[in-house]
Amino acid sequence: CTTNTYTIGGTLSGLAAGASVSLQNNGGDTLALSANGAFSFATALADGSSYSVTVFAQPAGSFQQVCQLSSGSGTVTGANVTTVAVTCVSENLFSNGFE
């Protein structure tokens, strides 16, 4: 009996050049991303397993970006998951509140 395994992944968009964001699946599989586009976690999951992707570390330093997830959790249903969407946007931080 062979257990089929499938990858968890999706698409990253909006990340500033030179920035990076770290994602985590099921609290253990961490993936650092530094370019927009398709991604997938290294650890494949068995059919019927649940997955839960979270932002492990937001872009640091002067990038002032926040990355948000959609479709980050669900159950593997006989195919690779490619629907996790990570969207990064620049924060509008104003030093004096009037700019």
pLDDT of res. 64:
87
| Spatial CA neighbour of 20 closest among 52, 53, 63, 54 | 63
pTM: 0.88
Check pLDDT > 90 for residue 21. Answer: yes
Return d(Cα 17, Cα 20) in angstroms, integer. 8
Q: How many CB atoms lie within 10 A of CB 14?
A: 16
- 47-56, 62-71, 80-89: least confident range: 62-71
**Per-residue pLDDT, 99:** 45
* Average pLDDT, integer, range 2-15: 95
Stronger pLDDT, 16 or 99, i.e. the higher one: 16
Q: What is the DSSP letter of 18?
A: T
pLDDT grade for 63, boundaries at 50, 70 and 90: confident
- 32, β-bridge pairs: 22
> What does the block give as tokens for 14?
């909006």
Torsion of CA 62, 63, 64, 68, to 10 degrees: -150
- Predicted local confidence at residue 2, as pLDDT: 80
pLDDT score recorded for residue 92: 67
